[in-house]
Amino acid sequence: MGAETTLKLVKAETRQTQFDIIVAPGFVLTELAALVDVLRIANRVCPHPPFAYTYRSLRGGLIESSSGAVVATERVPAPPRADYLFVIGNSDPDQPELSLGRVVKDYTFRGAQVFLLAEAASRYINERGTADLATHWENAAFLRERGARFDATFSLATEQGPVVTCAGMGATVDVVLSVIGRHVSGPAKMTVADIMLHEHIRDFATMQPFSGIKTTSTGDEALDQCIKMMQANIEDPLPIGEIVAALGLSNRSLERKFRTYMGTTPNNFYREMRLAKANSLLLNTAMSVREIGLACGFPNGFSAVYKSFYGVTPFVLRRQKRAAVQR
């Protein structure tokens, strides 16, 4: 009897928690690396490696990331047997292989918890037609631009039953550390975070920085307020003089703050912020180039300003994207 009990205890200790990781063409390497490295380091610091993971895709085979890195994947199994499913975000929110409603149901039906990152989360939100789910703040903006009847939340992650929608990107480390904390000791989790040089583990309810919801964290309160005003006035940019008057600063003081904390001028920062939004709209919506220019505060000369910054005109970039999709 005692020998039988000992055998069961050893088996319980050595059972690995299985993660299935689904990627689609154009997946975000940052998120995949954040997930896998947390699991890999946890396996290194624990007496018995607690985690196993398998790269998967809908069809199997080699899948290339948006940065050109390639991973070998196995097909999504039927039925799935993993404890967790992570779906990595994508460079293209319209990627057909991000539409995974049936796959999500297959995993949750068998007791797995599913984590959808960034674009995978926004695709799920859009198809499910519900609010109170999280995605990256940039994808939430895409949902609004595309006329969604609801808005995503700006927390790092939102847990709704067996499905967790997440902001993705750097917040992936926080999410995975939270998950492994269910299976390893507190000191082991902190050791993994220390090896990752991850100073503060944020919980799911933490608001995303630069989301337009939370004051940004530049290290200077007045600069935070300035950037918040800029974020709120993309389509009709405020004159810098109006901003400094509202903040009770001088032009020179604001210039010094931007030079110190951002390494640029207020005007350059504001213009780059608007161009970044324009670039996102260009790549991820069907809005015309003129409409995008107007939406980002460039009523005239948008193509020239865009080319001076990105080295290509908006029309050429659109053509290149269409050609890449057709290949």
Place 151 in a pLDDT band, splitting at 50, 70 and 90: low
pLDDT at residue number 129: 62
Please report which confidence band the pLDDT of residue 160 belongs to, taking 50, 70 and 90 as the band edges. confident
Give the rounded distance of the alpha carbon of 82 from its chain centre: 23
As given in the structure block, the two tokens for residue 277 are 């939004």
* Mean pLDDT to the nearest integer, 94-112: 92
pLDDT of residue 152: 73
Rounded to whole angstroms, the Cα distance separating 277 from 211 reads: 13
Q: Judging by DSSP bridges, how do beta strands 157-160 and 163-166 pair with one another?
A: antiparallel
Q: Dig out the tokens for 41 from the structure.
A: 């380091």
Q: Is the pLDDT of residue 1 over 70?
A: no
Phi, psi dihedrals of residue 132, rounded to the nearest 5°:
65, 25
Q: Helix 266-284 vs helix 137-145: angle between axes, to the nearest 10 degrees?
A: 60
pLDDT of 213 strictly over 70? no
User: Is residue 153 scored above 90 in pLDDT?
Assistant: no
The DSSP 8-state label assigned to residue 126 in this structure reads H
User: How many C-beta atoms lie closer than 10 Å to residue 23's C-beta?
Assistant: 26
Grade residue 190 by pLDDT with cuts at 50, 70 and 90. Answer: confident
Cis before residue 79, ω within 30 degrees of 0? yes
Distance CA 253, CA 278 (A): 29
Residue 303 burial class via C-beta count within 10 angstroms: exposed 0-12, middle 13-18, buried 19 and up: middle
pLDDT score of 67? 94
> How high does pLDDT run on average in the chain?
86
pLDDT higher than threshold 60 for residue 72 = yes
Are 31 and 89 in contact by the 8 Å Cβ rule? The answer is yes
